[in-house]
């Protein structure tokens, strides 16, 4: 089974939303893929996703209420086949942490010409909706067209 982890800065906005979108696509298409999410930092360990991430997920027919923030670790997370960074900064942080560079990818390379997924933390619900729409495109490309 292929294993994919989505990584953003704090694991409460972008990466849990990405994990939820991926779970939906995997379930609907009966794919043999395991997904997870984590953050570079440790500010939100054990916290639920941001309320706008949860609301946008619900508005699109799925829940991420079961997810909790966690920090990525080279020791516990090096077995993932793909480590998907939400932006260039996350990508560089993952490389600096020592993850295999051949397993690190930027989500924007899957349909957005390498564009970063912006952190919506201070952008209100509209920012989270924009992020959802960007992630939906890229994750469909990642899981269904590869």
Q: Give the E-state strand segments of 78-141 in sequence order.
A: 82-85, 104-106
Q: Report residue 117: phi and psi, to 5°.
A: -85, 115
54 is catalytic: no
66 is catalytic: no
Which of the following is catalytic: 13, 14, 77, 87? 14
Angle at CA of residue 141, ends 73 and 90, nearest 5°: 30
Q: Show Cβ contacts of residue 8 under 8 Å, excluding neighbours closer than 6 positions.
A: 14, 15, 18, 37, 39, 40, 85, 86, 87, 90, 117, 119
SS3 109: helix
Which of the following is catalytic: 36, 77, 93, 119? 119
C-alpha 11/C-alpha 72 separation (Å) is: 9
13 is catalytic: no
C-alpha 68/C-alpha 114 separation (Å) is: 28
Active site residues: 8, 14, 119
């Amino acid at each position: 089974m292929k294993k994919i982890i989505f990584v953003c800065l704090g694991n409460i906005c972008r990466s849990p939303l990405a994990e939820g979108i991926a779970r939906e696509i995997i379930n609907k298409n009966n794919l043999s893929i395991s997904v997870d999410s984590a953050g570079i930092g440790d500010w939100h360990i054990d916290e639920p996703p941001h309320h706008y991430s949860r609301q946008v997920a619900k508005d699109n027919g799925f829940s991420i209420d079961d997810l909790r923030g966690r920090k990525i670790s080279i020791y516990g997370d090096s077995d993932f086949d793909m480590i998907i960074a939400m932006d260039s900064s996350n990508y560089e942080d993952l490389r600096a942490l020592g993850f295999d560079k051949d397993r690190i990818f930027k989500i924007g390379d899957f349909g957005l010409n390498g564009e970063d997924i912006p952190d919506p933390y201070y952008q209100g619900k509209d920012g989270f909706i924009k992020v959802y729409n960007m992630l939906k495109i890229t994750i469909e490309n990642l899981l269904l067209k590869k």
